Amino acid sequence: MTATPKAFLLPIDDTEASLRPIRFLTRLYPDRSRISLTIHYLVPPLPPVYAEGRLSPAQVAKKKAFLKERDEAAQKACARAKQVLLDVGFSEEVIHDLVQEKELSVAHHACRLADIKRVDAVLFPKQSGSALEGFLKGDHTSALLHHCLVSPIWFVDDPADTSRAVVCVSEHRASVRALDHALFMLEETATAIDVVHFSKKLSKKIISHGIEPDGDITRWVADQSADVRANYAQALDLIRESAVDSARVRLVAAPSSGKIAADILSYSAENKAGILVLGHGGSSGTWGFLKSSVTKKILADFRHQAVWVNQ
């Protein structure tokens, strides 16, 4: 099978922590010949005092020193990231870098560039404590979900096992888009894929191997809401039309405790799934995420996994 090219955007700063998603990529894609990656670095804006028309000789000297220092910092950060990518097998031809002056938030810059570049995913390290000290420091989760309405976001807490992915298909249309994204991104990998729906009506798991649902799954689907039935039918069509080997797929209906985020994390831990694929959206709108959502809870609690969020 000929792999379809995949393109990623990796925002970085001056820290080693910002390069953590690279290790995840190298495990997911042993063959990196069809993977391209754009490194995105933000430099601090020019202080307003230096933008004035008339500067004293001392101010001119300070302005030159400021510009020189920030240019050197950008060159150093990009060179370090490039070297890490070269060391793990990326070719120089597929590595690109872009340096911009910071005018907006980190998330707004990254998502706008992702749309322009039409990348397949934006890579972002999980925010934890003070591990990130540069521009990426702080929690950018809500802002990324607000601005990245087109490009999927991969939140990575490395090390993450790439042997199994859990794709959650629900009554929401975003979950079908999430499955479509997962099938495309995982087509040439060896990652097993569990397509899972959680239901409070179930007392035990129903598992069907392959893409042709067995009798138990078929009967269960027939008893679901119209939205679930429609999304499940489209999910099966997407799997059949994809390049993913059916032997790698399991269709799963799993009991729910009513706490879906906890159910998803528990299922993934039980099945040693290092990749979680979620569709984020709904009638409450994107900013409903800030108050309460499955996505928010999972992004707060996941450990040593990659969470792929599609909207």
3-state SS, one letter per residue, for the chain: CCCCCEEEEEEECCCCHHHHHHHHHHHHCCCCCCEEEEEEEEECCCCHHHHCCCCCHHHHHHHHHHHHHHHHHHHHHHHHHHHHHHHCCCCHHHEEEEEEECCCCHHHHHHHHHHHHCCCEEEEECCCCCCCCCCCCCCCHHHHHHHCCCCCEEEECCCCCCCEEEEECCCCHHHHHHHHHHHHHCCCCCCEEEEEEEECCCCCCEEEECCCCCHHHHHHHHCCCHHHHHHHHHHHHHHHHCCCCHHHEEEEEEECCCCHHHHHHHHHHHCCCCEEEEECCCCCCHHHHHCCCHHHHHHHHCCCCEEEEEC
Same domain, residue pair 148 and 179: no
How many domains is the chain built from?
A: 2
**Which domain CATH number covers 71?**
3.40.50.620
Which tokens hold the place of 149? 């309405």
Do 142 and 10 lie in a common domain?
Answer: yes
Q: Is the pLDDT of residue 299 over 50?
A: yes
Q: Which amino acid is at 113?
A: L
Q: Identify whether residues 141 and 230 lie together within a single domain.
A: no
Tokens of 98: 């872009």
Q: Are residues 43 and 139 in the same domain?
A: yes
What residues pair up with 172 in beta bridges, in sequence order? none
Contacts of 52 (CB under 8 A, 6+ apart): none
Query: Minimal CA–CA distance to 260: which of 219, 224, 230, 301?
Result: 301
Q: Are residues 20 and 140 in the same domain?
A: yes
Let me know whether 15 and 144 are in one domain: yes
**134 and 181 share a domain?**
no
CB atoms < 10 A from the CB of 9, how many?
A: 27
pLDDT band at 224 (very low <50, low <70, confident <90, very high): confident
Q: pLDDT confidence of 42, banded at 50, 70, 90?
A: very high
pLDDT tier, 50 (very low <50, low <70, confident <90, very high otherwise) = confident
pLDDT reported for residue 1: 55
pLDDT at 137: 58
pLDDT at 286: 41
- Domain-embedded: residue 47: yes
Mean of per-residue pLDDT scores for the chain: 87
Q: Which of 100, 122, 156 is the last residue of a domain?
A: 156
Q: Report pLDDT for 194.
A: 96
Give the pLDDT confidence of 15-36 residue by residue, as tens digits.
888 899 999 999 999 888 889 9
Phi/psi for 255 (5° steps) reads: -65, 145
pLDDT for 136: 53
Compute the distance between CA of residue 187 and CA of residue 236 in angstroms, rounded to an integer.
Answer: 15
> 176 and 269: one domain?
yes
- Residues 82 and 209 both lie in one domain: no
What pLDDT score does 162 carry? 95
Q: Is the pLDDT of residue 267 over 50?
A: yes
Residue 50 maps to a domain: yes
Domain end, chosen from 107, 129, 156, is at: 156
- Are 87 and 106 contained in the same domain? yes
Domain boundary among 156, 176, 191: 156
Could you report the per-residue pLDDT of 173-207, keeping only the tens digit for each?
A: 889 999 999 999 999 999 999 999 998 888 899 99
Residue at 1 is within a domain: no
Name the pLDDT band for 302 (thresholds 50, 70, 90). Answer: very high
- For 51-71, letters b (16+ CB in 10 Å) and e give eeeeeeeeeeeebeeeeeebe
Local confidence band at 37 (pLDDT 50, 70, 90 cut-offs): very high
Task: Write the pLDDT tens digit of every residue in 77-100.
Answer: 999 999 999 999 999 999 999 999
Q: Is the pLDDT of residue 132 over 80?
A: no
pLDDT over 50 (residue 134) = no
Do the domain assignments include residue 262?
Answer: yes
Mean predicted confidence (pLDDT) in 161-167: 96
The boundaries of the domain holding residue 11 are 6-156
Residues 151, 171 within the same domain: no
Residues 152 and 85 in one domain: yes
For residues 59 and 270, give the distance between their C-alpha atoms in angstroms, rounded to a whole number: 61
| 118 vs 280 pLDDT, higher one | 118
Q: Phi then psi for 287, rounded to 5 degrees? A: -75, -5
At residue 189, the pLDDT reads 93
